[in-house]
Each structure stands twice: as C-alpha cells, then as structure tokens.
A and B are shown apart, each in its own frame.
Chain A
Amino acid sequence: MGPLSREAWAQRLGAFRASPSAFMAGADGEDLGRDLLSDLRSEKLSEQTKVSLLALSLEYPAQLWPDVPAAEAAATSLLDTMVLLPPRPSALRRPLLLAATTVLASGGVLGPTSGASCRLLPLLLGLASGGDVGRGFGPISEQRPLQATACECLRELESCKPGLLGGILGLLRSLLGQEGPIQPLSLLLALALRNTLVVQPRSGASLQGLLMAGVSSTGSGPWDWTLAEKGHSHLQPQAPCWPAAEEGACALAVLEPSPEEVRELRAAVAQLLDTSYLLTPVAQAQLLWLLGWALRGLRGQTPALFKPQLVRLLGTAQLTLLHAVLALKAAFGEALFTAQDEALLLRRLTLAAQHPALPLPTHLFYLHCLLSFPENCPLGPEGEEAAPLLLGPQLCRGLMPSLLHDPMVLLSRLHLLCLLCAEDEEEEKGQVQNPQWYLEELLAGLQQRAALDGGPRVLATLCFQASYLVASCLARQPMILTPLIQGLTQLYRARPVLAPHFVDLLDRVGPELEEPLRVVLQQEVVSRPGRDEALRWHLQMLAKVAERDAQSATLSFLQAAAAHCANWGLQQTLLRVCRVLLRGGGGPGLADLLQVLARQLEDPDGRDHARLYYILLAHLAGPKLGVALGPSLAAPALTSSLVAENQSFAAALIVQEAPAPIRLSVGPQKATGPLLVLQLQVEALEPVYSLELRFRVEGQLYAPLEAVHVPCLCPGRPAHPLFLPLQPRRPAPAQLEVRALYTTPTGITCHAHLPPLPVNFADLFLPFPQPPEGAQPGFFEGLWDSCLPKGAESRVWCPLGPQGLEALVSRHLEPFVMVAQPPTSYHIAIRLPPNSMLLLRLQAAQVDDGVPVALRTNDWAVLPLAGDYLRGLSVTE
C-alpha cells in the first residue's frame, strides 16, 4: 500500500482515537504501526501531518508496537528517520526524539542489549552537552531547543530506569556550571542525584567519585549500565519525604557519607538551589521535592541549605511551590522549621485557603493541607484529618462555612468547624456566638434549602452529607445532635420525597444518631393519615424505621394505608413493611392485618404475597421466620426484588442439597442381645442442629430402619455413639444408604448424602442366652443335633496366625463361646436373627498353622458366608 493522503490519515487517526481497542481489533489495526513508521519518511506528507503521526506514537506506543521486538524495531526506525532528515530546520526532530524515547521506555526495551538504546543514549547525551552531534543534525538555530529536549528525554529515561545517569553526574554538574539551558539541566541533575543516592548504597559506588567524574568519562565509550541494573528492580517512590509513607520506603537510604562526599553533595545541592529562581515555579517545586527527598536519607545533613529559599516561597500562594514547602516541612520538621516558622507557615496556609484571589480548587486543596498539616509535634493519631494545634478558632474565623459557599467548600469547611466544635466541647458553653451555635444555624439553613419543593437533588444530598459529617465528628454531643434530629424530622415532614436519603443516612450513621432519629421518624410517619399523596415515601421510610415488635400505631397506619394502595408498586412497598415486621416475629395484630390484606388488596400478586406472609407467620417459629425473610444471600446481583425475594424463600424454606456435614462409621460391636443394634460413630465437620439420619437397605434384606435423631453436633466436641437397631429379614451383610437432614446455624434446612455404611456378616451375630452353669455342653449338643437334616454341615480349615487358637477365639468369638477347653477345644454357638444359627467346633490340630472347624447351621444359605468369615479371621488379625 502506498502512502496515505493527509485526509486519509486524519480519518484513520480520528477513528483510532475514538476507541483504540476497537480500532486495533478491526481489520486495519494490525498495519497501523507499520504504516505510520513508513509514512514518516514519505515525501508526500506535510510536516504537520507527520507531527500528528508522531503524536500518536507518543501516546499509544503499547498499542502500535505491543511487544519488545516490535518496540525495538520501531525505535530504530524512528532514529533512522531522524538521521535521514535533510539538514534544514525541521519541526520533526523534537517529536522524533520524544517518540523514540517514549517507545524505548514504555516498551520495556531500554537496556544494554538493545541496539536502539545504545544509539539513542549517546545521541541524547551529545545533544544535551551542546556538542556537535554531526551528521547534519539540523541547523545551529535548532541546537538550543534540541538541547533542552534531549535533557527532558534523558530525565524521562532516568525516571523509568533509576541510576541510568549515575555515571554522568559529574558531567551534568559541569554542564550546569557552563552555558546549558538552566531548567532542563537542573531538573535532570536533581533527579539523577536523588536516584543515585537511592541506588548508590546498594551499588557501593563512591558518591564523591560520581559527583567529581569529569567530562571525559562519558565521551564515546560504552554506556555505564551498572547503577541502572541495580536500580531497576526498585523503582523508588518519590513522595515518601512524607512521614506517614516513610517507614517502608525510606528505610533503604540511611546513608552515612564521608566528609568529602558530604562536601561535594552540599556543593551540588547549593548550586541547584542558588539558581532555582531562574526556573518556572512548577519546575522549582519539582526541584524542591527531589532535593528534599535526596537529602532526607542522609544522616547528619542539616537542611539549612533550603532556608534562604523559604521566605521567598512563603510570600507566593503558587500552589506547587507552597505544596513543595509543605513537603520540606514534612521531610525535615523541626530541623528546618522552628516553632515560629511553623506558626508562620500555618498562617500563610490559612490565608491561602481563603484568599479571594485564588480559585476554588486551590482553596480546597489548601484546606486539606491544613487538616493534614505536618506538625512538628503532632498529638493526634497519624493519618487522620485533624486541626493542627496552632490553628485556633481565631485563625479559623475566615474559614467558617456559609450557605453561600459551593457544596465542596461548604463540606470541607464544615468538617473544620466540626473539628473545632469537638475541641471546644468543654469551653465557652452558653455563648451565643460560639461555634456550636453557628453550626446549628448552618444545619438549619441546609435543611431549609433541602426542604424546598422541586429543588435540585444536590441540595438534599448536601444536607444529608453535612448531617453525616456532623454526626460522625460530634456523635457524643447531644447539644448538637438534638437540634439536628429535630431539624431532620421537620425536613421529612416538609418533603417525604427525600425518604431514600433518610434511609441512607440511617444506614450509615452510628447509633448515637440512628436510634433517636429512627424513633422520631417512625412517630412522624405513623402519625400521618394513611391517604397521604406521599404514601409511597412513608411506606419506604417505615420499612426502615418500623420497630420490629409491630406497634399498634404502625399497624393501624398500615391498615389505613392499605385502602389507598391502588397500584402494584405501592402494594409491594406496603408488603415490604409487613415483611420487616414479620422478620421481628410479628405481633398479635400483624396476622389480622395480613389476613385483611390477603382479602382486600386489588392486585392478585399482592394478595398472594399477603397470604404467603400470613401462612409463614402462622406456621414458622420466630427465628425461622427471621431467616426466611432475611436479606437474601443468594444471587446478590439480581436487581428484581421479586426474584430476590423468591430466592430468599427458596433458600430458607426449601431443603437444600449440601455436602456432608458429618462423618459416620460403624463402631466396634458389642453383641449382647437380645436385639441386634449397630453402633455408629459420628464426627461433626461443621455445627449442625436437629440432625436426622435416615437409613435404607437395598433389596429388603432388613426391616425398614428407624431414623436416628441428634439435637446438636459441634466439631471438636466429643459425640456419643449412636445406636441403630437392625431387624434382618435374612442373615446377610448389606450396605446402608444414609441421608442426613439438618439445620445450619443460619437456620437453613439442608440434606446431604453420606457415604454408604457397610453392615458385615459379623455385625449380625448375637449370642444365645446362657444356659445354667454345667448345662452348656448339653445345650450345645442339642443345638448341634437340631441342625440336621434341614440344615447343612461343613468343615473348613481356618488358618491361624502366630497367636494361636486361644487368641483368635478371645478376639473374635468370645461372646459366643458355649463350651471351652482352652487352649485346644472350643464350642461356639451364634444366633443370627431372625431365626438362623451357626455352630462351630474348633479343635486344635497337631500342626500350628491352622485349625479344622466343623460347622453346622440350620440355614444352608449361611454356609458360604460362614466360610468366608472364618477364612477371613486370620487376615483381620
């Protein structure tokens, strides 16, 4: 594609600027960066158009050349373009330098391995030194502005990579002493000095060496990256000459330089300060911030160097200068400002915060500075706005708020007034002109303005913001709060449409104002006839202020109002109040009201809701009601109240699926009889209440199992074992399905599936009742004989562990031993409900590794289970 015309470019740039992201996502986006670079060399485009192209690359390099190689290539191309410029004056050299710098610094390219960096840095330094850069670098008339621009570029690179210029401090100093442009060089030196002081302690370089290094060290040799490489990982905050920010960031640079270093440093700083009056005020301010920060970390450095500048600076009200003085004050405190100086600074600041010749944003900023004034001996907690000790009522007289002020001025001055009133609490009571009295008058005026019918919302907002400020600063002063509450009540009476503001205020203020205001507002609302045209607002208000224990006045107001709730919206607001009352558990009259509403409301939806509330009130206990109607936890993003409400009900009233809150296992069985009972161990993972465990067996092996109830379980608290009676229909092992139904501490009912519980064959064993002493052998033999012929007989080999037969029996079969001749012979009888039995004769054999078992049962189906059981005994040993 050939070069675009001026118009085409204008259109393209316009489209890009309208929305860079949309443009880059479009078809044309990818080529923009490339086209821009190539058209910069086009001879068809005017310089004006090219400057606008460069302006784009100054603002959006990351979009045009998004990765490091692209940025490197772009910077190289920009430098090439500059070299190719004809040697006549051109408006492009400056923006090309700026653009190359921007692309390198913002593209993350700057470094010793970047070819473009290694070209740009010496070029900038050459230009900044005022030397001959050669290769037709423009006519001599352009050298001077380019020199300044090169300094600016170097300063930006140093800002982005602290320590970059550490190696040329000496050169910069000597340039400043010669004929360089004063402002760019001063600022460059100050920044490089400050960054060096931050980086130097870690690099180990000698400060003196850096400051004294001559011109020769820079020349054409390779750039010294050592300091920058060390500094890069810590872009250092510049601000923390502020005490509050000091701890973390400033700990890095407590230097203890040698006397020679101190001398050089002082000389450099003095050199900068002495000529600072030649800088523009904003640049002077930057210089002071930088030098203040640079010297702050140096132990034993008296900041007296700044003193000669201060008187001159205090006379102006130039915003940046006074701000810089405050920064010095914060940085050096008493070392630079005596108590008298502090008082003078405070006076000048107070004066500037109200001087009619200064614009409003400046007033506001100075007022902020007053309340954050860095005092020599601060008393209050750090970081909190407070009136400085020296700022007495006399000094503040001109800073009092008035209704004539702009809202922001009024609020900031009101804050000051509140702080004064808080201090003034003990003194001057009863005087007519004391600050409290004035505050009261002011609030009354604000309330009156907010009460104006049809007035803009901003007036109402202002009134409530002022009330909030007063309430939060002077919460403990009933002398102020009482009239405030009265005034607000009257405001509500005059303009119920402000109900949302009242609700907001009640939500935000502390109990000192909230409680009494709520009470009077409720009285105010319910004393109205229910057919007020502002009914909507009254109901909205009541939903906030209604007492939970439904007072009769509230109920009768609602009853009266119901007749006038003609539309759906009003009915919903009315029902919302009912809901609030329900949450508190409702009172005796509420059920009646809800029944009336369920009949009377015009809208079917309203009637349904009223009926639902009535049913809830009738069927749910108080706490559950509170949960059901409480704020919905589900789906907070939903805006529809109806949906939210339904969600809330669903959450509260529907049993919800949840992960298992407990762990259940079968405990050791104590086969005692006469009934079969499974012992369960339970462990709580979270608190659960009213736990009901339901069990089910597959295939009707057992009779239906009863649920087990536990009132409460808490994690970490030991739990009693649970007993589950089993009624097998056949003596067979089974899996029990377990479900838990319970209530969470928030009152929500949940159910959870627990892992299935295995009931083993051995868990079904019961002993026979013991026959009288001496009759056991006969009893056993009787049982033995009774098994046949209906039953079955078998012989199995039961392997023995190292413990031998006696141990095996005592461990597994102890309760069932009928006849024993330890250690060789045991007769064992096991009852298997409902009516099976298993009889074993164990007779120790000659060999040690097993015992032959003769077994009989009256139920042939038991045989395989018994066989498995016996063979498994030694394994479980």
Chain B
Amino acid sequence: MAQRAVWLIRHEPGTPLCGTVRFSRRYPTVENRAKVFNGASYVPIPEDGPFLKALLFELRLLDDDKDFMECRDSCTHINKTSIYGLSIGNEELWPVVAFLKNGMVYASVPLVEQTLSPRPSLISISGISQGLELLFGIQDFLYSSQKNDTELNTKLSQLPNLLLQTCPFGTLLDTNLQNSVDNNNFASVSQPQKQPAWKAGTYKGKPQVSISITEKVKSMQYDKQDIADTWQVVGAVTCKCDLEGIMPNVTISLSLPTNGSPLQDILVHPCVTSLDSAILTSSSIDGVDDSAFSGPYKFPFSPPLESFSLCYYTSQVPVPPILGFYQMKEEEVQLKIKVNLKLHESVKNNFEFCEAHIPFYNRGPITQLEYKVSFGQLEVFREKSLLIWIIGQKFPKSMEISLSGTVTFGAKSHDKQPFDQICIGDTAYVKKKNVGSYHIAYSSELHFSILDYTLTGCYADQHSVQVFASGKPKISAHRKLVSSDYYIWNSKAPAPVTYGSLLP
C-alpha cells in the first residue's frame, strides 16, 4: 500500500526539457521492501532528471511528435489506465501512476508486494488506489483556493512538511492535506479518544449548517430524425457544518416535488453512516418509471470540520431546459448559420447569465459578418474565430429566440487558429468516399446559470435537517443550476454520437 516515490512535474511546453520537477519525495524504507519483494524484477527509482524525461515522453508531453516512434506510437502500445511503464536505461519502471491536470503532472510509484514478472494485475495492487488518492489529495491541496503562480509556489513549498505529516513513510494517512495543517493548529492536550482521525479538532462557536445543491446540466442536441438528443443532470450537494461536540450527528433529507425527477447514481461521502438500500440501488442503468424511488433521500452523517461533498447524483429530467437547433452550411467562401433556441416553459426564466458560444474551428480569422438576432447582442472575436451571443437574464415572452447570419473567413494559419479534433469536417468520408471536401461538424455551446433553482426540483428542506448537537443551529440552503458541456450540433452535417443517442 506504500509509495516508493512521488513527483510533481510542471509541464512547460516549448522549453528544452518541456518540464521541471517541482517536487519529489522518495521513501527509502519502502524502496528496501521493493528490492526484497520484486526480487530479480526490481528496478530502482531513477533520479529526477531521467524520470522527468521518460515520463514526459510516455505521456506524449514532449514537443517532438513529428516522426513515428515505435516505442510510443506503436498500435500495441495501448494504455487504458493512468498507470504506465517507463523505459529508463534498459529497464522498465512499472507501475507508475501519473496524470496531467492543469499543466501539472502528478506521479507516484506504488510498491508492488510481489515479483513483477509476470506482471500482476493492477486490481491486485493495493498501492495503485492509494497512489491515485495521494495524488488527488495533493492536487486538491494545490488547487483548492489557489489563484496564481505565487500562491502555487507557496503551496508547493509547504508540501514537504505536509507529506511528512500525512505520508511520513510512503503509506498515506490522510488524503486531506489541509487537515494536517489544521491538525497542528488544533492539537490540544485534552483530545479525547474516539476523536476521528479525519477531524482535526472540535468547532467552537455559533452552530450553523449550510447546504448547497448545484446541478449541472449536460446536453447533446442534434435536431435529426435518426439521432436522439441526450441530456443529463449531475448534482452535487455540498455541506459545511459548524457544530460543537466531537461527533455531532446530522441527518439531511433531500426532497423532490411531486413531479420531480428521481435522483440516481448516488455516491456519498465516507462520513455518511448508513444508506437506505433504495438509495444504493437507484441507478440510471434502469431508466425511469413510476415505481422509481423518489425520496426523501436521507443522509445521516457525522460531519468533518471542513466543507465537503455530501453526495453526488445524476438524474434524467424529461426535457432539456433549452432546446435548440443549429444549422450551418458552407456556400462558396461563406458560412451561412442559423441558431434557434427555445426555453422550456417549466424552467425558471431568470438567469444569472445566458450566452451561446459559436466557435469556428480549423479556419482562419473572421473577416466579415452579417447577422440578425431576434434578441440579445452578438459579440465577435475575429482572431479567435468565435461568436458569442449574449442572451442576458431573461428569454422574451415567446421563450424562443433566433440568430442568423453569414460569416467569411481569412486564410488559415496553422499555429494560431483553434484546432479541434472533433469539429472537423468530412464526416461523410466513409460513406461518400470524397476525400478532400470538408463538410462541417460544428457545434454551438450554451453557457448559463440559474440561481435558486434545480432542474430535478431537488431541495433540502430546512425543517427536515436534524442535528443532534448542543444548541439550535442556523440552517441555510442554496440551489443553483449551471450548464456544462451543453452542445447543439450542426444539423446539416454528421456529428459525433454517443451510444445513448442511437437507442430507440
């Protein structure tokens, strides 16, 4: 379960090495065990320099993908997990857990407590999940409230001490690094036993419980006969409980209105003490019918000190909040576009903001634009080949708005213009076999947010929150609906479909 070493590598494309090691930590006692366990198949942990090079190569983060290289580009070199083998010298270091997030590569080498040849299955190595969790923890710590590079550097400089607390010998004690900072501050003589390890101390002050439900709605709309539109709601319930006592018990119930959409795929925080089996089994795999469990969804738990995600869920609402179509056709040198959006009547018509982004990929800058909008304003970003239609706070009474126009582009220069691997033309290539002529598979993306509203109707009833602790807490609840990956595909060309869109 231990890690042999951990690295943070800043990816810096364009520099000679394409990255720098910002942090590394080795665990020699674990390394000793690796030597014994792995036996003849043991490969030592390399120094930072060679490791950096090998890892960036394997992750394709070096700038040299011009030529075909067998050890990287071969069709058999298939990686289906974030676990890699790095060739260092003549040997292969395996398993290396690594992923790139926000320009930072997080990497660790878990101890495998047996020989490496034949390679054991990943599922049998406890260090894999521990390694991933450690890296997630570091990532959370670095990016939780970090705004700029200075703050990142400050946090990086705190890491050695934090890992000394949470992972002193390579075996992870807590993924919440912030906890160990607090732990030092809270540490008191009178810590009673049964103090949970995930709770640094006890809260002193006015009791209050804050619950916020954020729903993200995703959608893929095609406006086609043979392809079904898809949409999905993903909810997250975040809590912050400021309550006195070592382990105060709280129960939060999420409720739905009578016509609300049942919550499914519910994942809870480990602090939740028990779960109704209906909650455990309610799954999007089964689809929705009237017999589906529709709440109330009770979550009894003992909260940690910090703000935490009590649960996540998904839901299948009957209609998408905004239904639209997007038609685009290439006519000689111009593109003719038409976008139509309609807000569903059941949705609260009071946005924090609402806008539609219409990007044009793999083309030159916009040189000319003629357009007409029935509502809102259009902003043009010529160099970025992007149109943004700002709809504002409210749809008009008709609930339906439209945009039409023609766009002309300049010459394409490879470096600056946005390239997208999905929004390329020529989807018809397989069937029509007319290589060279580019059809368009573009989409427009909606960005919007509605406060004090959820699409499922899900809400946390303040009166149903039970708190078993001293004092009557102040309870506040918030709701919000935001869009995320809300695409409306050009209906005049083929578009990438998901399996769900093809089902009858």
Contacts and interface: CB of A to CB of B under 8 A. Distances in A.
Interface in B96-112: 97, 99, 112
A365 interface: yes
B272 A60 contact: no
A239 B133 contact: no
Contact of B28 (A18, A60, A358): A60
Contacts of A321: 270
A183 B197 contact: yes
B193 A178 contact: yes
B375 interface: no
Given A159-B2, A408-B79, A494-B436, 17 more contacts: A59-B28, A101-B29, A235-B36, A235-B37, A237-B37, A283-B174, A285-B129, A316-B272, A317-B267, A330-B123, A368-B81, A368-B122, A408-B81, A448-B424, A457-B73, A468-B75, A468-B78
A51 interface: yes
A448 B430 contact: yes
A311 interface: yes
A357 interface: yes
Given A98-B168, A364-B81, A365-B81, A242 B422 contact: no
Interface string B186-209: 011101111111100000000000
Main secondary structure of the interface of A (DSSP, over half): helix
B32 interface: yes
Contact of A140 (B80, B189, B218): B189
Contacts of B175: 280-282
A418 to B, nearest CB: 12
Interface string A487-516: 100100110000011001100110000000
Contacts of A20: 47
B65 A408 contact: no
12 contacts: A106-B32, A144-B187, A152-B169, A284-B270, A311-B275, A315-B268, A315-B280, A316-B272, A347-B281, A400-B499, A404-B422, A460-B73
A278 B60 contact: no
Contacts of A19: 47-49
Interface in B116-138: 120-126, 128-130, 132-134, 136
A799 to B, nearest CB: 66
Interface stretch (A439-447, A721-729, A801-809): A439-447
Given A182-B197, A279-B197, A282-B133, A244 B281 contact: no
A320 B236 contact: no
B65 A457 contact: yes
Contacts of B275: 311-312, 315
Nearest to A365: B81
A852 interface: no
Nearest to A458: B60
B435 A312 contact: no
Interface string A54-82: 01001111100000000000000000000
Interface in B65-95: 65-66, 68, 70, 72-82
A169 interface: no
Contact of A501 (B73, B124, B198, B435): B73
Given A152-B169, A364-B80, A508-B76, A280 B29 contact: no
A282 B172 contact: yes
A312 B272 contact: yes
A166 interface: no
A140 to B, nearest CB: 6
Given A394-B285, A452-B421, A348 B280 contact: yes
B31 interface: yes
Interface string A238-255: 111010110001000000
B151 to A, nearest CB: 20
B427 interface: yes
10 tightest A-B CB contacts, nearest first: A400-B499, A242-B124, A357-B312, A412-B80, A183-B197, A500-B68, A468-B75, A361-B82, A323-B129, A106-B28
Given A361-B99, A501-B75, A368 B80 contact: yes
A153 B268 CA distance: 33
A583 B17 CA distance: 43
A365 B129 contact: yes
Interface of A: 17-21, 51-52, 55, 58-62, 94-95, 98, 101-102, 105-106, 108, 140-141, 143-145, 149, 152-153, 155-156, 159-160, 178-183, 235, 237-240, 242, 244-245, 249, 275, 277-286, 289, 311-312, 314-324, 326-327, 330, 344, 347-348, 350-352, 355-362, 364-365, 367-369, 372, 374, 383, 394-395, 397-398, 400, 402-404, 408, 411-412, 415, 432-433, 438, 441, 444-445, 447-449, 451-452, 454-461, 464-465, 467-469, 487, 490, 493-494, 500-501, 504-505, 508-509
B80 A408 contact: yes
A490 B433 contact: yes
B123 A448 contact: no
A285 B498 contact: no
B430 A487 contact: yes
B16 interface: no
A639 to B, nearest CB: 13
Contact of B31 (A95, A106, A454): A106
B497 A441 contact: yes
B169 A156 contact: yes
B84 to A, nearest CB: 10
Contact of A433 (B128, B168, B430, B504): B504
Contacts of A315: 266-268, 272, 275, 279-280
B284 A398 contact: yes
A320 B129 contact: yes
A637 to B, nearest CB: 12
B350 interface: no
B503 interface: yes
B249 interface: no
A237 B111 CA distance: 11
B371 interface: no
Given A182-B197, A238-B1, A244 B121 contact: yes
Contacts of B169: 98, 101-102, 152-153, 155-156, 159
Interface residues of B, number: 119
B22 to A, nearest CB: 12
B274 interface: yes
B197 A397 contact: no
B97 to A, nearest CB: 8
B126 A51 contact: no
Given A20-B47, A397-B285, A278 B194 contact: yes
A445 B496 contact: yes
A508 B74 CA distance: 9
Contact of A159 (B29, B60, B216, B419): B29
Contact of B283 (A347, A367, A402, A452): A347
B60 A280 contact: no
B427 to A, nearest CB: 6
Given A59-B25, A408-B80, A408-B82, A239 B32 contact: no
B405 interface: no
A191 to B, nearest CB: 10
Contact of B75 (A239, A351, A465): A465
B123 A369 contact: yes
B452 interface: no
Contacts of A323: 123, 126, 128-129
Contact of B81 (A361, A438, A448): A361
Interface string B2-29: 1000000000000000000000111111
Interface in B255-284: 265-270, 272-275, 277, 279-281, 283-284
A360 B99 contact: yes
A505 B191 contact: no
Contacts of A433: 502-504
B233 to A, nearest CB: 10
Contacts of B419: 455
B120 A239 contact: yes
A500 B261 CA distance: 52
B176 interface: yes
Contacts of B192: 179
